[in-house]
Amino acid sequence: EAKRRGRGQAVRYRPGMIEAIAERGHLENDLRHALALSQFHIVYQPIMSLPSDRVVSFEALIRWTHPHRGAVSPTEFIPLAEENGLIVQIGKWVLEQACLEAASWPDEQHLAVNVSAVQLRSPLLLIHVADALARSGLAPHRLELELTETALVEDGHQIAHTLNALRQLGIRIAMDDFGTGYSSFAHLRDLPLDRIKIDRSFVAAALSDKNSLAVVKAVIQMGRDMNIPTLAEGVENADQLDLLRKIGCDAVQGYLIGRPALPAEKKITTQSGLAA
Ligand code: C2E
Ligand code: MG
Ligand code: MG
Ligand code: MG
């Protein structure tokens, strides 16, 4: 905050602010040791293809169990890890673990892994991805990397180069949380993409708000015209699923299809869930 306001601008401390900053410092410090202390694990959420209703893929989502605080949400610690650069090593670990796990799944099941903007800018990403594939033996076409639009804002040329190098390895690229970032349409036009994930805020509102519905429909139609499959995030009820089916969405993900689960529970979900 002080930095943003610039020199000579006093910051007015509100009650609780110092505590909040100190708290953040503690969490960041704990995060530095979390990898070495094996406090992370990965859960997998099913992705169901339409209209076949088959589970075709799983998204890897990191979990951190803090020794005192319990579960800390990735929405809280990933931004911290991005700020201090730890995300590069954490991301490497996720890639390695998730690829190893996915290598034991049936061949037709794919794996999606989130990659942050900071990882994308690091020259290590390509090495980490190639290593994870080599060590696990996972076929590259079974791996999809999910990037958010914010990851794509800076240095378009460098990023297009990295994405092309990744695709030369045979990996797929998805745009995550579509509609929430900046200059979405320029990215759709300029970048090699294999999937568009429509942000769950649009899906959640599609049944009650006609503008949200218009956006969802338009993105699906655009994906169709551009030959890029679309996926709707955050599908929580049958009415939403029916709607998405009707308007031609290619895949869905959300609590209705299955919650993120440990690998052992994931098998049960695939067999007995809606998706079976
Ligand atoms: P995301 O990649 O968009 O992942 C989807 C998030 O939506 C997950 O939250 C998932 O648990 C949640 N979700 C799935 N279905 C539903 C639903 O039906 N309703 C609702 N309300 N939520 C649903 P999660 O696991 O807390 O992750 C949050 C974000 O943290 C992710 O958003 C992703 O941006 C980031 N993240 C998670 N794991 C990793 C990772 O390994 N690396 C990186 N770089 N980021 C990660
Ligand atoms: Mg994602
Ligand atoms: Mg998403
Ligand atoms: Mg999202």
CA distance 217 to 182: 20
Tokens of 35: 């990898």
Ligand 3 geometric centre to CA of 9 (Å): 37
Residue 21 has pLDDT above 90, yes or no: no
Q: What is the pLDDT of residue 186?
A: 80
Give the global pTM: 0.91
- Which residue did the predictor score with more confidence, 64 or 22? 64
Averaged pLDDT for residues 249-265 = 96
Q: What is the Å distance from ligand 1's center to 174 Cα?
A: 14
Q: Is 61 in the pocket of ligand 1 (CB under 6 A)?
A: yes
CA distance 28 to 15: 22
Whether the Cβ atoms of residue 112 and residue 99 lie closer than 8 Å to each other: no
Question: Relative to the CA of 256, which ligand 1 atom is closest?
Answer: 18
pLDDT, one tens digit per residue, over 40-73 is 999 999 999 999 999 999 999 999 999 999 999 9
Protein residue whose Cα sits closest to atom 3 of ligand 1: 177
Percent of all residues in the chain with a pLDDT value above 90, rounded to a whole number: 75
Compute the mean pLDDT over every residue in the chain, rounded to the nearest whole number.
Answer: 90
254 lines ligand 1 (CB under 6 A): yes
pLDDT score recorded for residue 128 = 98
Measured by CA distance, the residue closest to atom 27 of ligand 1 is: 74
Cα–ligand 2 centroid distance for 71 (angstroms)? 19
The predicted pLDDT at position 274 comes to 55
Q: Residue 172 and residue 153: Cα distance in Å, rounded? A: 19
Q: Indicate the DSSP class of residue 142.
A: G
Q: Which two tokens stand for residue 36?
A: 């070495």
Q: What is the ipTM of this complex?
A: 0.98
Cα–Cα distances (Å) from 243 to 195, 232, 249, in that order, read 20, 11, 9
**pLDDT digits over 205-224, tens only?**
999 999 999 999 999 999 99
